[in-house]
């Protein structure tokens, strides 16, 4: 068959293991050099294709590519840029196909969440229309764990491990000082509409009474009176209270507790500040001394404490994406399939992009305790396997060592293009 080049891009918020997927794509493609010539990576995600800024990964050493497996963040750059519908902005899709034609790109691998899978699906459709068919395969990635069909999303397991460990360690800190100092500690974690990350904090507790004492989920409407009563009871019973809250916590009428009033490029409301909001409430109504923290980028960048299960799965979906493409499986996304049985085992499956695009999976109600402030045994059974194993990066002089890429750009062949114009 004719040899074609491939284009790989990272999209949206990055994770501790998204580069492991990139590593899987590039290394697998190199084993099929008769079918895939070069793998070009988009500089800053899909914008790299629109601007014709293509990184030639063949210019990197094999050791540099291998180092991607233990490097956090987006090695090639990512972006929050959503291509609109085909009818709304056909010019951008036409530009993608034009760039792909100019550089003999026949395979498109898009590493991201639901919005990204939607883009990959649309490109697979318009490429046929425009006479340059592209095999498009999505690669799952999201710390929020809200992609449908797949058992879990690569990127989530490592965030879950970080949050669980942080909750346990901070809980010990607060407990040791609670007699004369802080009574309430609030940790804010990511999770816009799905509380999977907040739920992972529940793994920190080995027995009743261990922190976290409250978890605030987006799936459960915030009830101020019940919240304050639970905090007060925890302090009276245990001497302190540790709270983990999802950034997407909201009132019964749908208003976010942390609505910042602005939106990102995907149209999502910008959130942040729920921890200080709750802290102020606790101070005003209960007059307890408090501290709060926002895990923010730390939770998704913490490669030093990544879940080995997560790293292995992230690499596997990257590798599977190439294998799917070479088998002619278009407009699909590799998935993680949990095998039945008491011992955790997983395999790779596939889902049509049309069924993944723009669909959010929330936590089942039976994963949340009856009072709405904790997790159930079923949730614990689901989460625990995802944080198993350690996969430490190499260290030098006490610090982790990460990939250092040259990122050589391919010479441009087309006139400039202004996205969104």
CA distance 414 to 98: 9
Contact status, residue 270 vs residue 261, Cβ threshold 8 Å:
yes
In a domain, 190, yes or no: yes
Answer yes or no: do 369 and 355 share one domain.
no
115 has catalytic annotation: no
Residue 262 in this model has a pLDDT that exceeds 70: no
Burial profile 92-127: b = 16 or more Cβ within 10 angstroms, e = fewer: bbebbbbbbbebebbbbbbbbbbbbbbbbbbbbbbb
- pTM for the model: 0.94
Q: What is the pLDDT of residues 93-146, one digit of tens each?
A: 899 999 999 999 999 999 999 888 988 888 888 888 888 899 999 999 999 999
* 418 assigned to some structural domain: no
Specify the number of domains making up the chain.
Answer: 2
Catalytic pick from 34, 56, 118, 144? 144
227 domain-assigned = yes
Question: pLDDT by residue (tens digit) across 153-175?
Answer: 999 999 999 999 999 999 999 99
Residue bearing tokens 């990964």? 57
| Chain centroid to CA 264 | 16
Phi-psi region of 420 (alpha: psi -120 to 50; beta: other; left: phi over 0): left
- Average pLDDT of the chain to the nearest whole number: 94
Do 237 and 370 belong to one domain?
yes
Residue 419 placed within a domain = no
Q: Which of 14-18, 79-83, 199-203, 347-351 is the least confident region?
A: 79-83
379-401, pLDDT tens digit by residue? 999 999 999 999 999 999 999 99
Look up the CATH number of the domain holding residue 96.
3.40.50.450
* CATH label of the domain that carries residue 274: 3.40.50.460
pLDDT above 90 for 258: no
Examine the domain organization and report whether 74 and 135 are in the same domain. Answer: yes
How far is residue 99's CA from residue 116's CA, in Å, rounded to a whole number?
19
**Whether 266 contacts 115, CB under 8 Å:** yes
**Percentage of the chain exceeding pLDDT 90:** 84
**Shared domain check, 294 and 196:** yes
Q: What is the pLDDT of residue 271?
A: 52
Query: Are residues 300 and 311 both part of a single domain?
Result: no
Residue 150 lies in a domain: no
Contacts of 360 (CB under 8 A, 6+ apart): 114, 146, 148, 193, 194
The dihedral region occupied by 149, where left means phi > 0, alpha psi between -120 and 50, and beta the remainder, is left
Question: Does the residue 420 lie in any domain?
Answer: no
Please indicate, yes or no, whether residues 240 and 378 belong to a single structural domain of this protein.
Answer: yes
Is 415 among the domain residues?
no
**Domain containing 353: what range?**
4-142+305-359+392-400
Q: Are 126 and 228 part of one and the same domain? A: no
User: Is residue 414 assigned to a domain?
Assistant: no
Which tokens sit at 380?
């614990």
The band of 251, judged by pLDDT with boundaries at 50, 70 and 90, is: very high
Residues 98, 244 within the same domain:
no
State the pLDDT confidence band at 261, using cuts at 50, 70 and 90: very low
Whether 103 and 203 share a structural domain: no
Lowest mean pLDDT of 13-17, 71-75, 77-81, 293-297, name the range. 77-81
> Which residue from 158, 172, 138, 250 is spatially nearest to 200, judged by alpha carbons?
158
Same domain, 31 and 123: yes
| 370 and 236 in a common domain | yes
| One domain for residues 184 and 268 | yes
């Amino acid at each position: 068959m004719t040899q074609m080049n491939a284009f790989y891009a990272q999209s949206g918020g990055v994770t501790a293991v998204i580069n492991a997927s990139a590593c899987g794509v590039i290394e697998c493609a190199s084993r099929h050099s008769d079918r895939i010539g070069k793998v070009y990576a988009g500089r800053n995600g899909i914008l790299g294709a629109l601007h014709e800024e293509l990184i030639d990964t063949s210019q990197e050493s094999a050791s540099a590519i291998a180092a991607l497996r233990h490097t956090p963040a987006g090695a090639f750059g990512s972006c929050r840029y959503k291509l609109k519908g085909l009818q709304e902005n056909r010019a951008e899709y036409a530009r993608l196909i034009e760039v792909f034609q100019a550089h003999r790109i026949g395979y498109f691998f898009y590493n991201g969440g639901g919005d990204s899978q939607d883009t990959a699906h649309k490109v697979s459709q318009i490429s046929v229309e425009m006479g340059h068919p592209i095999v498009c395969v999505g690669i799952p990635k999201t710390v929020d764990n809200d992609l449908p069909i797949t058992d879990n999303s690569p990127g989530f397991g490592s965030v879950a491990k970080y949050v669980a460990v942080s909750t346990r360690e901070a809980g010990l800190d607060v407990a040791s000082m609670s007699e004369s100092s802080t009574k309430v500690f609030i940790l804010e974690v990511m999770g816009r509409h799905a509380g999977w990350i907040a739920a992972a904090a529940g793994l920190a507790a080995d027995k009743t009474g261990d922190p976290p004492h409250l978890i605030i989920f987006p799936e459960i409407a915030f009830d101020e009176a019940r919240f304050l009563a639970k905090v007060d009871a925890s302090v009276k019973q245990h001497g302190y209270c540790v709270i983990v809250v999802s950034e997407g916590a909201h009132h019964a009428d749908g208003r976010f507790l942390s609505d910042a009033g602005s939106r990102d490029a995907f149209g999502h409301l910008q959130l942040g500040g729920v921890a200080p909001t709750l802290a102020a409430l606790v101070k005003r109504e209960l007059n307890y001394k408090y501290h709060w923290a926002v895990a923010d980028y730390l939770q998704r960048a913490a490669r030093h404490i990544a879940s080995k299960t997560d790293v292995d799965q992230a690499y596997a979906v990257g590798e599977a994406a190439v294998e799917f493409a070479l088998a002619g499986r278009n407009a699909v996304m590799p998935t993680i399939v949990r095998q039945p049985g008491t011992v955790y085992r997983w395999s790779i499956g596939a889902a049509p992009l049309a069924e993944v695009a723009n669909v959010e999976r929330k936590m089942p109600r039976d994963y949340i305790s009856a009072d709405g402030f904790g997790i159930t045994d079923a949730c614990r059974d689901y989460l625990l396997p995802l944080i198993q194993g350690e996969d430490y990066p190499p260290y030098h002089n006490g610090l982790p060592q990460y990939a250092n890429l040259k990122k050589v750009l391919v010479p441009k062949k087309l006139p400039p293009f202004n996205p969104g114009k």
